[in-house]
Amino acid sequence: MRSNYRTYPGIAFYDASLRLYEGLAEDLDWQLDFNQSGHFTLAHTDSSITGLRIRAENNRLMGVDSRMVDRDELRRMVPTMDMSDRPRLPVLAALYHPPGGTIGHDEVVQGYGRACDAMGIEVHQFTAVTGLEVAGRKIVRVRTTQGDLSAGAILNATAGWATTISDMAGVPLPIVSQPLQACVTELIEPFLDYVIVSSNLHVYVSQTAKGELVIGSEVDPYQTYCTRSTLPTLEQMASYTLELFPQLHGIKILRQWAGVCDMTPDYAPIMGAAGELDNFFMDVGWGTWGFKAGPISGKCLAETIATGKAAALMEPFAPARFLSGKLLGEKAAASVSQ
Ligand SMILES: Cc1cc2nc3c(=O)[nH]c(=O)nc-3n(C[C@H](O)[C@H](O)[C@H](O)COP(=O)(O)OP(=O)(O)OC[C@H]3O[C@@H](n4cnc5c(N)ncnc54)[C@H](O)[C@@H]3O)c2cc1C
């Protein structure tokens, strides 16, 4: 969880989401494992220091708590990290974002599901959309494995499968689906208070309250809908983690998994009306970074569908940007699975 993105629309959007997350346990009346422990993005080269500086300055202009820290301060704050010149790419500096942290994603989904149920909303699990019937400028029928439906508005929020749904309506999306893997280790004594992300090593590490380390990396460099985890990616996650924390040598991996990510050319999401059809909306292109945006994207899409006018915060993310060429350029801040 974090809001220290690079572009102004990105920073405003993710910050609004973080604020909703801060009050979500109360809103949902549900316990969420929300921990704003602080978030570091490490730089190992001069060019990444420059990139992180731009983010720090943009963040501060937008009122987001974010600043650069040098090696000495980093050494004091994260004493378990190897700050020596031993690693192939020594840590030179970092972007520090105090409100960043982690949240229990299962609890969030359970909390939302429970709140939807209390409002009379039906969630049909194990029900696949198999076709969309278009007449004129509208989708008039949604075919599913449990029968046909019709609705005033239809929202595509299917992440890694986004293009399979939009293709059914003849609406092309500039999205490719790539796997992203992560793993957790056995429980160890508390040794890491912060979320540590390395933009050069493409790895992130944090420790849960229970004691497991959660470790992840960048997307795998191929397109597939397969969610099998692989040995080369595990080796990559392990070797990069050991560059930062060599004392973890010998620690056991408990489990590893993969999800399918909907990657856009500018590493920013696609939200809003499809354009070609009046009742078809998109909330896709969330790639490796979408969980943190759930509350605000839901709120903005609900407003857009209810009023027929794009919510101001999500306007820059409209699908039409790929026709006008106004891409957002969020890659430097969205990559490394965040
Ligand atoms: C390993 C990993 C680590 C990640 N780490 C982070 C992180 O640290 N921070 C962060 O912000 N984000 C992270 N992400 C990204 C984040 O998980 C996603 O962006 C986010 O969950 C997407 O949410 P969503 O609601 O759009 O889609 P999802 O939660 O993926 O839901 C899409 C749904 O569509 C359904 N669906 C697909 N096809 C059909 C069909 N034909 N009919 C009906 N339903 C269909 C699927 O079954 C699924 O339930 C990570 C992702 C992975 C894989």
pLDDT exceeds 50 at position 97: yes
Q: What value does the mean pLDDT take over residues 111-124?
A: 96
- Taking alpha carbons only, the member of 138, 131, 175 closest to residue 153 is 138
What is the position in ligand 1's atom list of the atom closest to the CA of 129? 42
DSSP letter assigned to residue 89: S
In the block, residue with structure tokens 């915060």: 313
Q: What value does the mean pLDDT take over residues 25-32?
A: 96
pLDDT-based confidence at 289, cuts 50/70/90?
very high
Cα(260) to centroid(ligand 1), Å: 7
Q: Determine which residue's CA is closest to atom 17 belonging to ligand 1.
A: 291
Query: What domain count does the chain have?
Result: 2
- Taking alpha carbons only, the member of 188, 185, 175, 271 closest to residue 219 is 175
Cα(178) to centroid(ligand 1), Å: 12
79, 156: one domain: no
Q: Determine which residue's CA is closest to atom 50 belonging to ligand 1.
A: 288
Cα(304) to centroid(ligand 1), Å: 21
* Angle, vertex CA 331, rays to CA 311 and CA 46, nearest 5: 135
Cα(80) to centroid(ligand 1), Å: 32
Mean per-residue pLDDT of the chain: 95
Cα(208) to centroid(ligand 1), Å: 21
222, 311: one domain: no
Distance CA 83, CA 135 (A): 62
Q: Which residues pair with 141 in a beta bridge?
A: 133
Range(s) of the domain holding residue 278: 107-175+265-334
Distance CA 265, CA 315 (A): 18
Distance CA 222, CA 285 (A): 17
318, 280: one domain: yes
Contact by Cβ (8 Å): 274, 280: yes
124, 61: one domain: no
Q: What is the pLDDT of residue 89?
A: 93
* Angle, vertex CA 97, rays to CA 263 and CA 83, nearest 5: 95
The verdict on pTM exceeding 0.85 is yes
DSSP letter assigned to residue 170: T
pLDDT tens for each residue of 198-243: 989 999 999 999 999 999 999 999 999 999 999 999 999 999 999 9
**Residues in contact with ligand 1 (CB, 6 Å cut-off):** 128-129, 157-159, 161, 165, 180-182, 216, 259, 261, 286, 288-292, 337-338
309, 201: one domain: no
164, 293: one domain: yes
> End of a domain among 240, 263, 286?
263
